Amino acid sequence: MIDFAANYRMLIDGELVKGEATLPVVNPATGQAFATAPDATAAQLDRAVAAANAAFPAWRALSPEERGGCLVRAADIIQAHLDELAVLFTREQGRPTAFAREEIAGAAYWLRASADLRLPIDVIEDTPERRIEVRHEPLGAVCGIVPWNFPIAQASWKIGPPLIAGNTVVIKPSPFTPLATLKMGELLRGVFPLGVLNIVSGGDALGPAMTAHPGFRKISFTGSTATGKRVMETAARDLKRVTLELGGNDPAIVLDDVDVDAIAEQIFFGAFYNSAQICAATKRLFVQDAVYDALRDRLHAMARGAKLGDGAEPGTMFGPIQNERQFARVRALLDAAERDGLAVLKGADAPAGGGFFVPLTIVDNPPDESRVVAEEAFGPILPMLRFHDVEEAIARANATSYGLTASIWTRDIARATEIAGRLECGTVWINQIFTLTPMSPAGGAKQSGIGVEGGLAGLIEFTQAKTVYIPKAGIPETAPPMRET
């Protein structure tokens, strides 16, 4: 049995540290607090940053194999405690426990895969006279700020790549979902040298204090576009590097040659998985005329048949909105759609007795200028949009300030590939969705972010490029101050 009222502690310089103050942690299925988390002080943050900087020289001096071995041990520990972490995850995040297990197992997999990443040495020139190399060297202490929708997965993204590159890290979970991450820190104590991995928790003041802290060389942030802009503004004061994975208003385009029965389930979960609290979820579903009605009716039937409730209860498929603030925002969008007379098709009723529940909802062909289309809901409200011509669908899909992901559904792969090249976003899936690997970069276009995570490109984001000119025969005979060669 898990003691949810346990004293959760932060990991700072290899020690488990209590907070001088605490924050309540709410179960979104009930709306009631069930535990508390430490609220880090400025002095505790300073200590964590100092520890990360002090640990950096020795950590970067280790071989990639030695650093990777630590990551593999961390992955093994997380996998061994999967059930315990999943129960805690569900209580604070709301997602059904079976899906929580998937995320935690995925985080362990991500750490193992990160252990195999290696920074290249790019040889620009190799002649009898000289060799020119571009090396990629670690930056130093990295700040990782993790969102509430995927707390453990996103923590692994902000731990594995920077550490294998030779950096040290300080991770901050969301104040809405700190417990599983703090528990993970407790489990991983002793896996890494002191100060290499630090985890601090706190309220709304902690994030800005971290992004402004002069001890960090890099900020890796996942969250809303509005907050990402503030992070970038703060980081600019001392030119910290930033990677920002932000919001999206992701389109899916369904062409009229699809088999509706074959794609309906993927479309449904692509829109509603985790109660649609996914940056990359389908948020605008464009469907060609000939298959529109059939797909709409099939999706609505699935929404009516899906069990919505407490993620800890067997058989629950969809949990609550994670926090009251987001719940109010999603309810406001739904209320506006009903007030404006839009065709709202609701799924199974929310359970009685409290909690931040919103029924899975389809809005049938609303105007593109309506709030439910123009704004990112980040909740289970899916606008379904009819189109006739593919050129029209592409233009409407691109008519947004966001550009995170998109998906295309058709039997004609060549046609889909051509459409993919015209969509303004960082990732396009063809006849699939949510396919991510540690070897592939993922990032946003336009206001959906800066930089990428994953793969070699994401690894290099945690480094500084250094060009080294190496003569083959000692000191060159002539060495003018600067010349083009």
CATH number of residue 190's parent domain: 3.40.605.10
Beta-bridge partner residues of 346: 361
Question: Are the beta carbons of 158 and 144 closer than 8 angstroms?
Answer: yes
**SS3 (DSSP) at 114:** helix
Mean pLDDT check: name the lowest of 252-256, 312-316, 339-343, 472-476. 472-476
Distance CA 353, CA 264 (A): 32
- 255 in the same domain as 179: no
pLDDT at 65: 98
| Digit-coded pLDDT (tens) for 163-191 | 999 999 999 999 999 999 999 999 999 99
Percentage of residues of the chain with pLDDT beyond 70: 98
> pLDDT tier at 483 (50, 70, 90 boundaries)?
low
- 231 in the same domain as 266: no
Active-site hit among 70, 143, 279, 425:
279
Per-residue pLDDT averaged across 338-363, rounded?
A: 95
pLDDT at 475: 77
> pLDDT tier at 437 (50, 70, 90 boundaries)?
very high
Alpha helices, DSSP H, located in 14-148: 42-61, 64-80, 82-93, 97-115
> Pairing relation of β-strands 251-254 and 405-409?
parallel
In a domain, 32, yes or no: yes
Per-residue pLDDT averaged across 114-133, rounded?
A: 96
Distance CA 184, CA 285 (A): 37
Per-residue pLDDT averaged across 255-277, rounded?
A: 98
| Digit-coded pLDDT (tens) for 36-95 | 999 999 999 999 999 999 999 999 999 999 999 999 999 999 999 999 999 999 999 999
In a domain, 351, yes or no: yes
CATH number for the domain harbouring residue 327: 3.40.309.10
- 339 in the same domain as 452: no
Strands, E, within 81-167: which ranges? 122-126, 130-138, 141-145
Angle at 432 between CA 376 and CA 306, to 5 degrees: 65
- 288 in the same domain as 199: no
pLDDT at 1: 59
| Digit-coded pLDDT (tens) for 81-122 | 999 999 999 999 999 999 999 999 999 999 999 999 999 999
Distance CA 141, CA 239 (A): 14
In a domain, 23, yes or no: yes
In a domain, 436, yes or no: no
In a domain, 139, yes or no: yes
Active-site residue flag, 70 = no
Please give the tally of structural domains in the chain: 2
Active-site hit among 92, 103, 143, 245:
245
Token code pair at residue 67: 């650093």
In a domain, 110, yes or no: yes
pLDDT at 480: 55
Token code pair at residue 42: 């400025």
- 331 in the same domain as 211: no
pLDDT at 352: 85
- 293 in the same domain as 197: no
In a domain, 485, yes or no: no
Is pLDDT above 60 for 482? Answer: no
Is pLDDT above 80 for 364? Answer: yes
Alpha helices, DSSP H, located in 240-378: 260-272, 289-305, 324-339, 371-374
Per-residue pLDDT averaged across 329-355, rounded?
A: 94
- 167 in the same domain as 32: yes
> pLDDT tier at 353 (50, 70, 90 boundaries)?
confident
Question: What average pLDDT does the chain have?
Answer: 96
Is pLDDT above 80 for 485? Answer: no
- 368 in the same domain as 348: yes
- 288 in the same domain as 220: no
Q: From 193, 191, 153, 147, select the one nearest 172 (Cα to Cα).
A: 147
Backbone angles phi, psi at 389, to 5 degrees: -110, 140
Is pLDDT above 80 for 3? Answer: no
Active-site residue flag, 279 = yes
- 77 in the same domain as 19: yes
Q: Which residues contact 313 (CB under 8 A, 6 or more apart)?
A: none
- 208 in the same domain as 324: no
Instruction: Name the strand (E) or helix (H) holding 385.
Output: strand 381-387
> Pairing relation of β-strands 427-430 and 405-409?
parallel
pLDDT at 399: 98
In a domain, 144, yes or no: yes
Is pLDDT above 60 for 474? Answer: yes
**SS3 (DSSP) at 396:** helix
- 149 in the same domain as 189: yes
> pLDDT tier at 473 (50, 70, 90 boundaries)?
confident
- Which residue segment(s) compose the domain that 340 sits in? 251-430
Provide the CA 189 distance to its chain's centre, in angstroms: 24
